[in-house]
Every structure is written in structure tokens, then in C-alpha cells.
Amino acid sequence: MLPVGGKAMARTLAEKVWDDHVVRRAEGEPDLLFIDLHLLHEVTSPQAFDGLRLSGRAVRRTDLTIATEDHNTPTLDIDKPIADPVSRTQLETLRKNCAEFGVRLHPLGDVEQGVVHVVGPQLGLTQPGTTVVCGDSHTSTHGAFGALAFGIGTSQVEHVLATQTLPMPKFKTMAVNVDGELPDGVTAKDLILAIIAQIGTGGGQGYVIEYRGSAIEKLSMEARMTVCNMSIEAGARAGMIAPDETTFAYLKGRPHAPQGEEWDAAVEYWKTLRTDDDAVFDHEVHIDASRLAPFVTWGTNPGQGAPLSAVVPDPASFADPSERLAAEKALEYMGLAPNQPLRDIAVDTVFVGSCTNGRIEDLRSAADVLRGRKVAEGLRMLVVPGSVRVALQAVAEGLDKVFTAAGAEWRHAGCSMCLGMNPDQLAPGERSASTSNRNFEGRQGKGGRTHLVSPQVAAATAVLGHLASPADLSDVRTPVEA
Amino acid sequence: MEAFTTHTGRAVPLRRSNVDTDQIIPAHWLKKVTRNGFEDGLFEAWRKDPQFVLNQPERQGATVLVAGPDFGTGSSREHAVWALQNYGFKTVLSSRFADIFRGNSLKNGLLTVVVPQDVIERLWKLTESDPAAEITVDLVAREVRAEGLTQSFELDDNARWRLLEGLDDISLTLRHEADIAEYEARRPAHKPRTVEA
């Protein structure tokens, strides 16, 4: 569809995908967008299905809808009934709703079960140029494929179930240009934490971010998903990366990827999904990848981060009064003092997993650090694969043995300690290094304290017992066969 | 959806920025499968502190929340909006809201009003020194009024109309069912399906 006014203008990637999904455009109204893929899970869907029932509506496109169970699912004893009756009711509600409305569901125990944002891509359902929604803010993950992917609320979940469309207010475009080479040991997670620290938790508000530049083009699909996943932590409505050969290679042969002539037609379309050379972004940010280092958070929002080699900032150093107050409150909650070296911070628990860092590549990199090493005395390390498929792949590669030999716990797939809706939680005052996406107060358990880190930093931290990177470990690997 | 035209009430001054949705309603409350009964979960962790502003006797019955910047960041949970409404809030004022939270609030008739931070500061001072002070949020005139203060605010005409009328988005969209069917008919065959072909 041509933009309003009918004149073909240079467009960004996000604008192209948006325009291709406009069902209806009218002056003074939000565009009505068609939704290609609707992902459901147990937490944000029950009230939406109730709404459908109350108004006697059906699910318009069950063939574009898929559900899985992830937020509440236990990661131990999954063959036994779920102990928490409220969690059990919520999962049973999803099962009933999916059966009643004819929606495909992958429940706990199914080979395709897992964190919804890991499941969509691995099935090949997340494709370039599609619109993807889910009642979960980390839906931005799917933007790694050049999809326009939004987290939505439950009212919108009901709206999509009933109409397969959403009225969406227009967005602004932001380019985050990342050029140069990421140094050894610096990952996509460090990159996105550094980006959020630079633009702030509200910096992306109203924008769809496109990550571009030579450092982005070199990233694997898993790494691209990590970057796009945390777009929401910068306040952005979505994050995207233009599809390329890396994207096509990842998709080829997946269960729901197009085949034969349809594959050729799809690739031809996907190749048009690039920002035009003369397109203008509303805002641009430039990052030099070669200057980045392992990055960790010290505070209670994802923008409160710093390089691992830095110290805890002094709130007095913040010019903005509300940032100063936020830093003071964060240090109090986190039990940290100004100018304390971040490397000195001892942790009790290490969590590897989540829709941010629960894919096979993340498990491989954590295992590489742990191979032949031991988790520090008294420290608890949980490794939670993002999906059953990821778990099976990890087992096939012997990664589970590396983790258990090091003293870590190898668990079943799910959201787990990322948000502690299941029994995997921090105790009050307990401190974690976590590969998840949010360090909010109490996020991982009431009174728990979270430092967001990459899988490599998580593994090195588990070995040393304090925040650390693999570079800090050079002489502690014991020659143990794993 | 409940219609919103104008509301006058006492305020809760919440001097915090980046109030994320995990603070508004912690995750363990999200296991409920209804839209009501979330009032006790609102700001649950902070309410354990007897000094927390919501616990002050003079704030009981207040209906206007005046918060710092970046209110509602984080998760897409609409439960955050329900919790605020279940507790009794009709409107929230901040200099900046997270997008998903804002969208959720307007779909439920909880009016989120963006005003500059200096106006928030003035409202904090006013309502801290006089807990009985009332704030009016007038959607018809698009104005916030309090003693010695009149501040206009923006809300696009379409969102305002839907709030004033209390309209249901799904019914509005289904008026254009023919457009949806027409779009579906021309959708490329290579697009993914969740079921086997």
C-alpha cells in the first residue's frame, strides 16, 4: 500500500512491513493492521477468551494462532501435578480455552513446548515481513527476522482473536547503527545493555528501532533475537533487523518455513525488506562496537548498567534529579554502596535462561566457560533451556553433562526465574547474576536482587562467586574431561 | 469499556520514576484468570512499608495518581491497569508513560494524562501540603485543573472519542469486516500458518 497521499517515498524497513499490513486507513484514525501470527500463553489470555465467550465471538483465524505454556510451568518434576493450585488452574484454563476455540496448543510435556518467543522462531513461524503479536512485552524478539512484532495487552489479545487485526497508532523510526567489531568476549547481551544504558528506559518510547550496521550484520540469529528482545527495555514499541542470508539460512527447512516455489517467492519478497538508501529515520544513534566491554546492571531498571570493570555509580553524579533519586533508591534496594567495584559484588544464584538468553547458542557459550570448572562453593546455578527442542539439542551435544559436572542444576524448559511465577525464585535479600531481561525490584522473587548479565559473564560469575567475565578465569580451569 | 468524561478527586503523590509493572502488580498475582480482585496486589511490596504514601489515612479514597516519569514500564500485563482500577484510581498523571501500559489503560477507561514534569512537581507540592486538595481531569476540555493551576493536555481525537463514548474497539473494527476479508483474500500464499496445510 502506498503511503497517505499516494506518493512512493523512500521508506524504512518498519514502514514497508507496516504498509504491507494496512487493512484500512482513514484520516484521523489509527491504521487497522492485519496480524500474521498470534502467539498465546497462559498468563495474558484467560480474560481475552472470557471476553470472546461473553460476546459470543469465535477465533477468526485459528490457523494463524498458536499457544504454549511457559510462565507458570515448573522446571522440576514436570511429570507430577503442578503443586501450586493457582498456577495449575491457569494452565488448565488455557487448555480448556484452546480446546473450546480450536487453537493449537503445546502444553507442558510436549516436545514443542517452551518459552513462546523461543518456540515461534524455532518452528519457522516467525518470518521476515510478518506482523507478530503476543500478550507479552518480549514479543519484540521476533523483530530479529525483520518481522514487525509487538507486545500487547489482554484487550488487544481479545481483539486479535476476534478480528485478526489491531488498530495501531503510528510509530516513529529510530536507527541504532552499530559499526566496528565486537571485541572477544563481548556479546549481543552486552551490546543491548550498553544501548539501553545510552538511550535510557524511556529513550525508545514511541519508536520502532531498527538495529543496523556491520556489527549487527555479523550477528547470528540467536544473537539478533537477544538484541531485539530487549528493545522493550529501552521503551521501544518494537525492534527490527533487516533479513539477510543469515536469516534465510536459519529458516530454510524449518517445519513452517515455505517450501519449493513458495520458498522462492518468499525469499524474493524478503529481499525487498531493507530500508531504502535515502530513507530518513526520525532519530539516529551511533555505537562503536569495538569500544564495548562486558556489561552488567547495578540498579533496578535495565538502563542502570555499566561495564563490568566500572564501579557502582555515586547517585550524586547524576545531574537529572529524578535519575539521582532513582539511583539512590536502586542502591538502597540492591544493598550496594557508591564506588564499590562491580567485580567485588558477590552473588548467591546464577540463572541462565529466558527468552533473552535461553537458546542453544547461549547454553553453548555458558557451557564453554564451565567446561572443566566448578561452580563456587555455596552458589546455586540454574540452567533452564528456552524450549524442549533447545534442551534436546543441548543434551545431544552433551551440554547438560557439562553443567551438572560443574555443579549447576539442569532444568526443564520455561520462563522460570526470569520472573519467578513458578517455584524458581530468589529469597529476600538474595542476589543473582541473571541472563534474563529485567532487574526490577522483586522481579525474581520478593526482595531478590538481580544483576543482568550475558551467558558468559553468568558462567564466569558462577565459578568465581562474584561478578566476573571469562577473562578473569584464565588460570582456574582444571584439566577435567567433561 | 467504562466511559470517561471528567473526574474530580483527591490525589496520591507518588514520587518515583520508572514505576514498572512488576511494582504495580507483582507477577504472582498474574495467575488469576479474572479481571477483578487485584486491588490488594497494587504496589504490594511498597505497601508493606507503613510510611508508603498509599498507606497514609489521608490518602484513603483518593482516585488520582500523580507519578514520576516513565510510569508503567516493563511487562505488557494489563493486570497493572486492572489493579489500579480495582483499587479505585480513575486517572494517572505522569510526564511519560510506557507505550503498552498507555494503550492498555485507554482501552479500559483508565485515563492516563501526560503533563510536563514541572506540572507534576507542582501537583506533588500541592497535594503533599494539602491532602484534601482535589484535582480535576476534564477530558471534554482536555484540561487538568487544581488550585492555582490549569494545564491543557493532548490526546488524539480518536482515542478521546472512544473514551468519551466508552466504545468497544472490537465492535468498531468489525464494522470493517469486509475490509479484513478483502485483505485476507489477497494475502500471499507463502505466509506462515500454524496448522498443517
The CATH number of residue B121's host domain is 3.20.19.10
pLDDT, residue A5, reads 45
Q: Given a cut of 90, is residue A476 above it in pLDDT?
A: no
Q: Given a cut of 70, is residue A2 above it in pLDDT?
A: no
Pairing of strands B64-67, A349-352: unpaired
B170 touches chain A (CB under 8 A): yes
pLDDT band for B168, please (50, 70, 90 cuts): confident
Contact residues for B74 (Cβ-Cβ < 8 A; gap 6+): A137, A232, A438, A440, B20, B21, B22, B98
**Minimal CA–CA distance to A441: which of B96, B38, B21?**
B21
Closest alpha carbon within chain B to A92: B33
Query: Does residue B125 fall inside a structural domain?
Result: yes
B18 and A301 in contact by Cβ < 8 A? yes
Distance of CA B144 to the CA centre of its chain: 15
Q: Give the pLDDT mean for A55-65.
A: 97
Which tens digits make up the pLDDT trace of A389-405? 999 999 999 999 999 99
Query: Does residue B192 fall inside a structural domain?
Result: no
Query: Does residue B193 fall inside a structural domain?
Result: no
Which tens digits make up the pLDDT trace of A106-160? 999 999 999 999 999 999 999 999 999 999 999 999 999 999 999 999 999 999 9
Give CA–CA dist B122/B117, Å, rounded. Answer: 9
Q: Given a cut of 50, is residue A481 above it in pLDDT?
A: no
Q: Which residues pair with A238 in a beta bridge?
A: A208
Q: How many domains does chain B have?
A: 1
Which tens digits make up the pLDDT trace of A348-365? 999 999 999 999 999 999
B91 touches chain A (CB under 8 A): no
A441 in helix, strand or coil? Answer: coil
* Other C-beta atoms lying within 10 Å of the C-beta of residue B192: 24
Q: Which residues pair with A448 in a beta bridge?
A: none
CA dihedral A260, A150, B175, A170 (to 10 degrees): -110
Helix segments in A74-173, DSSP class H: 85-101, 116-122, 154-163
B186 touches chain A (CB under 8 A): no
Distance of CA B3 to the CA centre of its chain: 14
* Side-chain-facing half-sphere of A142: CA atoms under 13 Å: 32
Give CA–CA dist A120/B192, Å, rounded. Answer: 11
Query: How far is the CA of A94 from the CAs of A43, A165, A194, A325, A470, in angstroms?
Result: 9, 22, 37, 42, 42
Query: How far is the CA of A392 from the CAs of A343, A360, A413, B120, in angstroms?
Result: 34, 10, 10, 53
pLDDT band for A273, please (50, 70, 90 cuts): very high
Which residues on chain A are in Cβ contact (under 8 Å) with B30? 43-44, 71, 421
Distance of CA B15 to the CA centre of its chain: 17
Q: Given a cut of 60, is residue A279 above it in pLDDT?
A: yes
Which tens digits make up the pLDDT trace of B104-151? 999 999 999 999 999 999 999 999 999 999 999 999 999 999 999 999
Which residues on chain A are in Cβ contact (under 8 Å) with B183? 23, 34
Give CA–CA dist A156/A126, Å, rounded. Answer: 20
**Minimal CA–CA distance to A315: which of A292, A291, A340, A294?**
A340
Its domain, for residue B101, covers 6-185
Most A CBs within 10 A among B32, B35, B53, B76, hence the mutation to make, goes to: B76
CATH number of A13-169+245-270: 3.30.499.10
Main-chain dihedrals φ then ψ at residue A358, nearest 5 degrees: -115, 20
Q: Are B86 and B108 in contact (CB under 8 A)?
A: no
Q: Given a cut of 90, is residue A458 above it in pLDDT?
A: yes
**Minimal CA–CA distance to A143: which of A77, A54, A52, A232?**
A232
Query: What is the DSSP annotation of A354-391?
Result: HHHH-SHHHHHHHHHHHTT--PPTT-EEEE--SBHHHH
ipTM exceeding the 0.90 mark: yes
CATH topology for the A172-242+274-291 domain: Aconitase; Domain 2 (3.40.1060)
Query: Does residue B191 fall inside a structural domain?
Result: no
pLDDT, residue B154, reads 96
Give CA–CA dist A314/A305, Å, rounded. Answer: 13
> What's the angle, vertex CA A338, arms to CA A191 and CA B44, rounded to 5?
80
pLDDT, residue A475, reads 63
B160 touches chain A (CB under 8 A): no
- Indicate left, alpha or beta for A185 from its phi (over 0: left) and psi (-120 to 50: alpha): left
Averaged pLDDT of chain A: 96
Closest alpha carbon within chain A to B121: A322
Give CA–CA dist B173/A159, Å, rounded. Answer: 9
CATH class of A299-468: alpha beta
A34 and B183 in contact by Cβ < 8 A? yes
Query: How far is the CA of A293 from the CAs of A301, A312, A461, A472, in angstroms?
Result: 20, 16, 16, 13
Distance of CA A86 to the CA centre of its chain: 26
Which tens digits make up the pLDDT trace of B87-106? 999 999 999 999 999 999 99
Q: Which of residues 163-202 of A touch B (CB under 8 A)?
A: 163-165, 167, 169, 201-202
C-alpha cell at A193: 545493555
State the burial class of residue A169 (Cβ atoms within 10 Å of its Cβ: 0-12, 13-18, 19+).
middle
B156 touches chain A (CB under 8 A): yes
- Say whether A299-468 and A13-169+245-270 share the same fold: yes
A3-12, A132-141, A226-235, A326-335: segment of lowest average pLDDT:
A3-12
Q: Give the pLDDT mean for A204-232.
A: 98
Strand order, beta sheet including A165-168: A22-24, A31-34, A165-168
Contact residues for A38 (Cβ-Cβ < 8 A; gap 6+): A61, A64, A65, A66, A132, A133, A134, A157, A160, A161, A164
Query: Does residue B54 fall inside a structural domain?
Result: yes
Contact residues for B31 (Cβ-Cβ < 8 A; gap 6+): A43, A72, A84, A86, A87, A89, A90, A421
Which tens digits make up the pLDDT trace of B11-70? 999 999 999 999 999 999 999 999 999 999 999 999 999 999 999 999 999 999 999 999
B191 and A127 in contact by Cβ < 8 A? yes
Give CA–CA dist B17/B60, Å, rounded. Answer: 22
State the burial class of residue A396 (Cβ atoms within 10 Å of its Cβ: 0-12, 13-18, 19+).
exposed
Query: How far is the CA of A275 from the CAs of A147, A206, A241, A376, B182, in angstroms?
Result: 13, 19, 10, 48, 28
Q: List chain A domain ranges.
A: 13-169+245-270, 172-242+274-291, 299-468
Cell 517445519 sits at which residue? A255
pLDDT band for A8, please (50, 70, 90 cuts): low
Closest alpha carbon within chain A to B185: A23
Helices B99-108, B157-165: axis angle to 10 degrees equals 40
Which residues on chain B are in Cβ contact (under 8 Å) with A86? 31-32
A177 in helix, strand or coil? Answer: strand
